[in-house]
Amino acid sequence: MDKRSTFIIHMNIAAKPKPFSDNHSWFSATLRSITDSPKFIYSYTNVINGFSAVLSSDELHALRQSPGFLSAYADKQATLDTTHTSQFLSLNHDAGLWPASNYGEDIIIGVIDSGVWPESDSFNDKGMRDIPKKWKGKCESGAGFNSSVCNLKLIGAPYFNKGLMAATNSEISLFGDSATARDSMGHGTHTSSTAAGSEVTGASFHGYGGGIARGAMPRARLAIYKALWDNGRYASDVLAAMDQAITDGVDIISISMGFDGVPLHEDPIAIASFAAMEKGILVSASAGNSGPDLSTMHNGIPWVLTVAAGTVGRKFFATLTLGNGRDFSGGVSLYPAKALLLNVPLVYNKTFSSCNSSETLSAMAEDMIVLCDFTSSIDYQMRSVTQSNAAGAIFINDNLDAAKDFTCPSVIVSAKDGFELLNYVKEHKETATVTVSFQQTLVDVKPAPAVAEYSSRGPSPSFPGVLKPDIMAPGEKIIAAWVPTRSTAKLGRTPLASDFNIMSGTSMATPHVSGVAALLKSVHSEWSPSEIKSAILTTANTLDNTLEPIKELADRVPMVTASALAMGAGQVDPNKAMDPGLVYETGTEEYVSLLCASNYTSKQIMAITRWRSAAALNCSKASKDLNYPSFIAIFDDGDYVQRFVRTVTNVGYEGSVYKVKVVSPGGVDIRVKPETLVFKEKYEKLNYEVQIKRSRKRSEKKYSDGSIIWLDIKGKYKVRSPVVVVV
């Protein structure tokens, strides 16, 4: 029997016969014409002109012959990629973007994810006004999820599982999930509360990071679209969720997942976000967690705001005090108990230093703290110590984030600190002791931020001609709301629950930027998605909290200065983004011209843009030079000069004058004409041209960074665009 699979089908609506009153009836009739047993999944309204259905190869072949057929591709699965971060981003109650936007109360953020745990206090609606009248969405009821759980904060919670059920041919409940928007994974609850969680006092992760938990936009409304499930995350469901979000009237879409290795015309996020952009909705999406190698990112989509992950100036640790009075605070620990190990014998022995045998540890180190060499997986070592009679362990490992769970009283220290501890034990064999105090949190750790090692790097495999990622935001060890059905830690073999959890990834960075974008939308309701993106990029911070250039983590000692291919324009700076001085605006026609110039066929462009016909496409002005607030110049062997033209809009004050400052990357010379921009009026537009000339022959591919900065002569504005050159 011919195997049947789910396909996403794009149709040319210009070919719809007149008797059909709407697209859905035409799609249904088309499907019935090629099969006696049609299995329709979704009919899409906004994101594509088309539908998804279960088809055999013969049925797909027949469908390809149908009038109006454009393209089809198989359904595919997505990859999933707080108490301190608001302070780290300088968001405060006294001045800046928070009070200026009224904390974004009338802005609606749509989060496409694994659902929500509505009972979490992060979704309380205390003091909130009525829901904006523009809202058209709903809260879908189901088993254990009554629509009454929604409120003035959580205003929508639909779910989308038809693609999953078609692919797995089974009921959701068989996998411990439920056919509702309730989150069983935790990911959606964490990301949505990071974007717009209400203030919660006394939040912490088992005593670590205590304080007030709040989202980047604490009074915004949230609509959570569940399209990710425990046993699958299918493109057809993601498309349906984004389609509904557009219909419902969200202002910002936040999506912390991506589809690896797919071209733009088959990428559901690229296609759906194009429709969102045309409706004035900005889409913020994660770059992925496949770093530190180059060209590892997904969501490198020109019309999407692509987010990298950085560290936060905060550390969770345990203090060590040796018997000789020497203190160590460099170790990392998340042991989930308020424990104090007082003057416990500290031992090291080559027989058990690998810490991979619970029997040996029990026999030779009972009620002692053992020093463990980096000889095997730290999770394996942790398990062995936990199952033994040892009192705890100090693991020597230069990867301080190597442990997933601290199931026993334990600390991870660097090789440098480990060397000192070893010397102490060897000098005091019979009397060595250590006191360990857990649940310690340190803020204002330096240097920070730094690009996280796992954060995916550009250039974008799907579209290298636009510099990606765009921006970096806090993504490392973020504390946010969690579901009580999934453990957050273990004490021995006992799983522990918590209302908050620590997670890391570009998934966590993205909702920070989504929240900032929503705040900007609240202050500047007239701004388009590209203008919001421009404001965020051109005001980004390129320095860490030591006032040195931001570094990147990638198993390098010492750390190297971060490239724009790792951090984009830099760390998001919300308060500066509120008043950027100049913005770059990019419209639909420019994106279409970009696609026209990039060897996409008319059918592929129609699939992305939903244009009615190939004849309607205007490729007469095809150009790869997008009016984007960043530059990437990739030189071929015979290519020595590249030119770019940019248009900037003055959103500062009348009569403003800007002078250009150029930092040329290695191997090229950059010239900007004119060197001065004089704006007589607010909202006036002016052009400038950039010429990048290669000054050396290419022996091997090399990436180098620079910048083009427009400086307001009154000193108020600094409008910076990163430049990456490949020669």
Output the six-digit token pair for 39.
């299995």
* Residue 658, number of CB atoms within 10 A of its CB: 26
| Residue that the structure tokens 């089908």 belong to | 9
Specify the pairing of strand 314-322 against strand 327-328. antiparallel
Alpha-carbon distances, residue 473 vs 332, 510, 689 (angstroms): 22, 7, 30
**Which helix (H) or strand (E) is 436 found in, with range?**
strand 433-443
Residues 171-180: contacts with CB under 8 Å, at least 24 apart: 172/229, 175/229, 175/230, 175/231, 176/230, 177/229, 177/230, 177/231, 178/142, 178/143, 178/144, 178/145, 179/142, 179/143, 180/115, 180/140, 180/141, 180/142, 180/143, 180/144, 180/145, 180/226
Q: Which of 113, 243, 267, 373 is catalytic?
A: 113
Question: What is the rounded CA–CA span in Å between residue 537 and residue 516?
Answer: 12
**Which helix (H) or strand (E) is 594 found in, with range?**
helix 588-596
Sign of CA dihedral 412, 415, 418, 422: positive
Note the residue count of the chain. Answer: 727
| Residue that the structure tokens 């733009």 belong to | 264
Question: What is the rounded CA–CA span in Å between residue 257 and residue 286?
Answer: 6
Contact (Cβ atoms closer than 8 angstroms) between residue 154 and residue 222: yes
Output the six-digit token pair for 210.
């205590």
User: Could you tell me what percentage of the chain is helix, strand and coil, using 3-state DSSP and rounding each to the nearest 5?
Assistant: 25, 30, 45
| Residue that the structure tokens 């980004």 belong to | 540
* Residue 365, number of CB atoms within 10 A of its CB: 26
Q: Which residues contact 499 (CB under 8 A, 6 or more apart)?
A: 120, 121, 203, 481, 482, 484
Contact (Cβ atoms closer than 8 angstroms) between residue 387 and residue 359: no
Tell me the chain's radius of gyration from C-alpha atoms: 27
417 in active site: no
Contact (Cβ atoms closer than 8 angstroms) between residue 213 and residue 480: yes
**Three-state secondary structure of 645-701:** EEEEEECCCCCCEEEEEEECCCCEEEEEECCEEECCCCCCEEEEEEEEEECCCCCCC
504 in active site: no
Question: What is the rounded CA–CA span in Å between residue 167 and residue 637?
Answer: 46
Sign of CA dihedral 83, 88, 91, 97: negative
Pick the closest to residue 574 from 253, 110, 104 (CA basis).
104
Alpha-carbon distances, residue 553 vs 256, 311, 448, 471 (angstroms): 22, 9, 11, 16
| Residue that the structure tokens 């929240």 belong to | 515
Contact (Cβ atoms closer than 8 angstroms) between residue 726 and residue 632: yes
Q: Which of 273, 462, 507, 656 is catalytic?
A: 507
Question: What is the rounded CA–CA span in Å between residue 254 and residue 192?
Answer: 8
265 in active site: no
**Which helix (H) or strand (E) is 536 found in, with range?**
helix 529-538
3-state secondary structure of 621: coil
Question: What is the rounded CA–CA span in Å between residue 635 and residue 260?
Answer: 26
Specify the pairing of strand 4-11 against strand 79-80. unpaired
Contact (Cβ atoms closer than 8 angstroms) between residue 46 and residue 243: yes
Contact (Cβ atoms closer than 8 angstroms) between residue 400 and residue 332: yes
Q: Which of 187, 206, 298, 524 is catalytic?
A: 187
Which residues are designated catalytic? 113, 187, 507
